A and B are shown apart, each in its own frame.
Chain A
C-alpha cells in the first residue's frame, strides 16, 4: 500500500522534472513572447542522448548529465539560430508554426534513428529505498531533487549576478527599452534557448531513468506538461513556473491515487483549461491587465491571393469528376480518396486557423468525434450511414464548439495550447469511457459507406462520394466567406480589439466558425470511419492535426481552393515519389518549416 506521503513525494519529484521543462519555457516566453513547442523534443533528445551515454558509452552518472546538458544546449542553439532568428521580423504566427515544425522534425529524426520501440534507460544508481516517515524515498528521487535545486540555484545566480543574466531580465521586462539600452537581443535569445534546452534535455534523461523507459511519445507529453505548468505559474514567470510544476505534479499524483493511472493526463489538461479560463495570466499575475495598445505586428502574412478564374476551377472539378471513368489504377483513386478526406479536414482548419485566426492543434479531435458518433449511431441504432455521417458532422460541430469555447477568450499561442490540450482530453475520454466508446479495444465492424440503401463498395463510387461531399463543403465555405460573416471572421483575426470596438462579439463569431468548421471535420471523420471499418482512440492523432496545418499553410491560410490543392499535393507527392511512410511526417515537418520561412502566404495566398 502506498501512503499519502508516498504520493506527495512522487508528486514533488515529478513536479521537479516538470519544473526543469517549464522554467525553460518561461525563460523563452519572457524574452520572446513565444511558446516553444519544440521544448518537448529537446527533452526527448536528452533522454536518447542519456540512453546512448549510459547503455553504449557506459559513462559515469555525472558525465552523463553533463553530456546530455551540453548536447541538448547545442540543439537549442541550433534551433534558435536557424529556426527562429530568421523569423524575427515576420508575422506573429510564423515563430509559433516554426516551433511546431521543428518539434515534428526532431521527433521524427529521433524516431528514425532509434526506432519507435521503447527502450530501457537504467539509472546507474543502487536500487535501495530509505524509510521516511510513512513513505519511502530512493536515490533517484534524491538525484532529481538535487538536480532541480542545483539548477534553480545556478539559474538564480546567473540571472542575478551575471551581465548576460541582467540582460535577460531586462529583455523580459521590456524588450524595446532593453534594446535601446544596448542589450544584444540575439545574445539574450541564445542564452535563453541554450539554458532552456540544457534543462529540458536533463529533464528528459531523468524521467527516462525514473520510469526506466524512454520512447518517442514522450515529446508531446513533455511539451504539454511543461506548458501546463508554465501557464499555471503565469507565462514568462520563472519562479511561477516552478510553483506551477510542483502543483501540477501534486495534482496528478493525488489524482492518480484517487482515480487510477489512466487519468493522470486528464488532470493535467483539466488543470490547464481551468486556469486558462479563470486566470489566463496564471495564478500569480495581478488580476486584470489590458494588453497595451496595439499588439505589435499582424498575425498572418499579408498577401494578395491568387485569383483563379471560375472556368479553370470548373474544368478542374470536371476532370476530377470523370477520373474514375478513365483507365486509372485503383491505387490512384485510393490516394485521391485520402486527399479528399484530408481536404475536408483542411477546409475546416483553414476556416478556423486561417480565416478567424485560431490556430488549432487539436483538430484531429473533431475527426474523432465525427467518426465515433457516426460509427456508433450506425452500429447501435442502425441509422443509415448517410444520416449517421451527417449526425457525426453535427455532433462534431456542437461538441467541438462547446469543448473549444473555454479558449475563445484566449489569443495567439494560448489558443494553440488550449486546443492541443482539448484534443488530448478528447482522446483520453475516448480511451477511458469504455461503456460508450469501447475503450482501448476500439470499434470494429463499422458498416461500409452507403447511400439511399446502396452500399458504396467499388473504389469509383467511394471516390465520387468523397469528392462530391468535399466539393459541396468547399462551395458552402466559399459562400460563407463572401458573406458578412467572412469579413467579420477576418476582422477578428486581424485585430480582435478593434473588432470588439465595432460590436463584433468574439464568442459568437468564433462559435460560428467552429460550428461550420466542426461540421466539415466531423463529416470527414465519419466518412473515414465507414471507410476503415475499424477505429480506436489512436486513429485520429496529433500527427493528422499537424498534417492538416501543413496543408493549410501550403495552400494559403483561409484559402478554400488552397486547402484542397494543399491536400492533393501533400497526399499525392509522397506517393508520386514513393517516399516510405516513416519519412513522410519528417517531410511534412520540413515542408512546414520551409513554407514559414520562405513562403508564409502559401501557394495561393492568404485570404
Chain B
C-alpha cells in the first residue's frame, strides 16, 4: 500500500480560529504520494478553511503543514503554487473575462521559465522586457504551453475544446468547474486539492468528473478531495476523514467511516444536511 511511504503532505495540530469560532481544530492528517484522501463533513465543518490553510490563502493560529518533509506553514500562496500545490475553489473562481485558453494558461504560470528569468531584483524588469521583445525562446515556450493547454482541455472531451476561445463568463456552470480543474492540472501539480468538484453537477456530469479524478489517481497524482457525494468518495478514496465543527471525528477506510456512529450522529445533528442529504437522495 502507498500509505507506507513517507507522506507527501502532513498536517499536525492545524488550528484556525475566527473570533470565538474554531473553524479548524487541531487537525492531523497524512497523505502519501499517489494517495487520495477525502475529507467529508457537514456544512461549516471547516473543510474549506483547512484547504485555505494548506494552500497559504489563510494562516493557521497553531499547528504545522509539511510538504515533502519541509515546513511550509504560513508560506504565501505564490510560493506554494511554485512548489506544486494546486487547488480548485468550492464556488468556482475562474477568471470571468479571460478565455478558456487564458484561464488554463494562468494555471501554467509557475512553469514559465524563458520569460521569467530567476534573477533577483531586476527579474521583473527583465520579464517586462522579454514580454515585449519576445525572443524565440519565449515564443517557443508560449507555444509549448498552449499545446499543453489544448491537451489538458481535450481531456474533457467535446465539453470545452470547441469553447476554448470563449470568455469564461459565457460558459455553463459545469464547464466553469471543468475550467478550474483544467487550470489546476496545467500547473502540473504534485498535490491537487479539489474542493467539491462536482457541486451543482447532474448525475451524468458527476460520473464524468469521477472518472476523470480516478484517471488522475491512476496517473499517480496525489489528491486531497472534499466531496459531499458519498458514493464518489467511497469509490475513489484510500482513506476518508470526517470533520465536524473543526475537529476530526473519524478516519479510516470508507466503509468503516460510513457506519461509524459518531459520523452518523454528526450528520443527523446538523439536520440531515450535506452528505447525509446527498446519500438520502441517492
Taken residue by residue from 83 to 103, chain B's Cβ proximity to chain A (1 for < 8 Å, 0 otherwise) reads as 000110111111111100011
- Do B102 and A487 touch (CB < 8 A)? yes
Taken residue by residue from 9 to 43, chain B's Cβ proximity to chain A (1 for < 8 Å, 0 otherwise) reads as 00000000011000000000000000000000000
| 8 Å CB interface, A489-542 against B | 490-491, 493-495, 497-505, 508, 511-512, 515-516
| 8 Å CB interface, A565-607 against B | 606-607
Cβ–Cβ < 8 Å partners of A488 in chain B: 106, 109
- Do B124 and A483 touch (CB < 8 A)? no
Q: Which of A290, A483, A501, A515 contacts B134 (CB 8 A)?
A: A483
In the assembled complex, A480 has its CB within 8 A of some CB on chain B: yes
- Do A503 and B58 touch (CB < 8 A)? no
Q: How far is the CA of A294 from the CA of B125 in the complex (A)?
A: 32
In the assembled complex, A163 has its CB within 8 A of some CB on chain B: no
In the assembled complex, A307 has its CB within 8 A of some CB on chain B: no
Q: Which of A286, A288, A487 contacts B59 (CB 8 A)?
A: A288
Cβ–Cβ < 8 Å partners of A479 in chain B: 132
In the assembled complex, A63 has its CB within 8 A of some CB on chain B: no
Cβ–Cβ < 8 Å partners of B106 in chain A: 487-488, 491, 499, 502, 504
Cβ–Cβ < 8 Å partners of B256 in chain A: none
- Do A501 and B115 touch (CB < 8 A)? no
| 8 Å CB interface, B47-105 against A | 48, 52, 55, 57-59, 76-78, 81-82, 86-87, 89-98, 102-103, 105
- Determine the residue in chain A with the shortest Cβ distance to B180: A498
Q: Which of A289, A293, A298 contacts B89 (CB 8 A)?
A: A293
- Do A503 and B78 touch (CB < 8 A)? yes
Taken residue by residue from 277 to 301, chain A's Cβ proximity to chain B (1 for < 8 Å, 0 otherwise) reads as 0000000001011100110001010
In the assembled complex, B187 has its CB within 8 A of some CB on chain A: yes
Question: If A511-B124, A515-B128, A516-B128 touch, does A501 touch B77 (CB 8 Å cutoff)?
Answer: yes
Q: How far is the CA of A516 from the CA of B124 in the complex (A)?
A: 12
Q: Which of B19, B58, B86, B90 contacts A290 (CB 8 A)?
A: B58
Cβ–Cβ < 8 Å partners of A500 in chain B: 57, 76-78, 81
CB distance from B88 to the nearest CB of A (A): 9
Cβ–Cβ < 8 Å partners of A300 in chain B: 97
- Do A498 and B96 touch (CB < 8 A)? no
- Do A505 and B128 touch (CB < 8 A)? no
- Do B97 and A501 touch (CB < 8 A)? no
- Do B124 and A502 touch (CB < 8 A)? no
Q: How far is the CA of A325 from the CA of B140 in the complex (A)?
A: 44
- Do B109 and A502 touch (CB < 8 A)? yes
Q: How far is the CA of A76 from the CA of B98 in the complex (A)?
A: 38
- Do B107 and A502 touch (CB < 8 A)? yes
In the assembled complex, B112 has its CB within 8 A of some CB on chain A: yes
Q: Which of B89, B95, B134, B169 contacts A490 (CB 8 A)?
A: B95
Cβ–Cβ < 8 Å partners of B131 in chain A: 480, 483-485
- Determine the residue in chain A with the shortest Cβ distance to B193: A501
Q: Which of A290, A476, A493, A494 contacts B57 (CB 8 A)?
A: A290
- Do B124 and A302 touch (CB < 8 A)? no
Q: Which of B90, B109, B134 contacts A503 (CB 8 A)?
A: B109
Q: Considering residues A289, A485, A491, which has the most beta carbons from chain B within 10 angstroms of its beta carbon?
A: A491
Cβ–Cβ < 8 Å partners of A304 in chain B: 167
Question: If A480-B132, A487-B105, A512-B127 touch, does A502 touch B81 (CB 8 Å cutoff)?
Answer: yes
- Do B128 and A494 touch (CB < 8 A)? no
Q: Which of A476, A484, A505, A512 contacts B105 (CB 8 A)?
A: A484
Question: If A483-B132, A485-B128, A491-B106 touch, does A503 touch B95 (CB 8 Å cutoff)?
Answer: no
Q: How far is the CA of A606 from the CA of B167 in the complex (A)?
A: 12
- Do B187 and A293 touch (CB < 8 A)? no
- Do A501 and B95 touch (CB < 8 A)? no
Q: How far is the CA of A479 from the CA of B139 in the complex (A)?
A: 13
CB distance from A171 to the nearest CB of B (A): 20
Q: How far is the CA of A289 from the CA of B58 in the complex (A)?
A: 9
- Do B97 and A508 touch (CB < 8 A)? no
Q: Considering residues B59, B81, B94, B115, which has the most beta carbons from chain A within 10 angstroms of its beta carbon?
A: B81
In the assembled complex, B277 has its CB within 8 A of some CB on chain A: no
In the assembled complex, B210 has its CB within 8 A of some CB on chain A: no
Q: Which of A288, A302, A502 contacts B86 (CB 8 A)?
A: A502
- Do A302 and B132 touch (CB < 8 A)? no
Taken residue by residue from 131 to 142, chain B's Cβ proximity to chain A (1 for < 8 Å, 0 otherwise) reads as 110100000001
- Determine the residue in chain A with the shortest Cβ distance to B130: A483
In the assembled complex, B183 has its CB within 8 A of some CB on chain A: yes
- Determine the residue in chain B with the shortest Cβ distance to A479: B132
Cβ–Cβ < 8 Å partners of A497 in chain B: 57, 93
Cβ–Cβ < 8 Å partners of B102 in chain A: 487, 490-491
In the assembled complex, B110 has its CB within 8 A of some CB on chain A: yes
Cβ–Cβ < 8 Å partners of B170 in chain A: 302
- Do A512 and B82 touch (CB < 8 A)? no
- Do B124 and A294 touch (CB < 8 A)? no
Q: How far is the CA of A502 from the CA of B98 in the complex (A)?
A: 15
- Do A293 and B19 touch (CB < 8 A)? no
Cβ–Cβ < 8 Å partners of B105 in chain A: 484, 487
Cβ–Cβ < 8 Å partners of B96 in chain A: 298, 302, 494-495
- Do A294 and B97 touch (CB < 8 A)? no
Cβ–Cβ < 8 Å partners of A515 in chain B: 125, 128
- Do B97 and A298 touch (CB < 8 A)? yes
CB distance from B191 to the nearest CB of A (A): 13
Q: How far is the CA of A498 from the CA of B52 in the complex (A)?
A: 11
- Determine the residue in chain A with the shortest Cβ distance to B82: A503
| 8 Å CB interface, B149-179 against A | 167, 169-170
Q: How far is the CA of A479 from the CA of B95 in the complex (A)?
A: 21
CB distance from A286 to the nearest CB of B (A): 7
| 8 Å CB interface, A91-147 against B | none
Question: If A288-B59, A487-B105, A512-B124 touch, does A501 touch B82 (CB 8 Å cutoff)?
Answer: no
CB distance from A529 to the nearest CB of B (A): 26
Cβ–Cβ < 8 Å partners of A494 in chain B: 95-98
CB distance from B93 to the nearest CB of A (A): 4
Question: If A293-B91, A488-B106 touch, does A501 touch B81 (CB 8 Å cutoff)?
Answer: yes
Q: How far is the CA of A501 from the CA of B76 in the complex (A)?
A: 9
- Determine the residue in chain A with the shortest Cβ distance to B145: A484
CB distance from B133 to the nearest CB of A (A): 9
Q: Considering residues A298, A300, A503, A505, which has the most beta carbons from chain B within 10 angstroms of its beta carbon?
A: A503
Q: How far is the CA of A502 from the CA of B110 in the complex (A)?
A: 7
Q: How far is the CA of A504 from the CA of B187 in the complex (A)?
A: 12
26 CB-based A-B contacts, threshold 8 Å: A286-B19, A290-B58, A293-B89, A293-B91, A294-B93, A298-B97, A298-B169, A479-B132, A480-B132, A483-B134, A484-B112, A485-B131, A491-B106, A493-B97, A495-B93, A498-B93, A499-B95, A500-B78, A501-B55, A501-B57, A501-B77, A503-B81, A504-B106, A504-B109, A505-B78, A607-B97
Closest 5 CB pairs of A and B: A503-B81, A483-B131, A503-B110, A494-B95, A498-B93
18 A-B pairs besides A294-B92, A487-B106, A505-B78 with CB distance below 8 A are: A293-B48, A294-B93, A298-B169, A483-B115, A485-B128, A487-B102, A487-B105, A491-B98, A494-B95, A494-B96, A495-B95, A497-B93, A501-B55, A502-B86, A502-B187, A503-B78, A504-B106, A512-B127
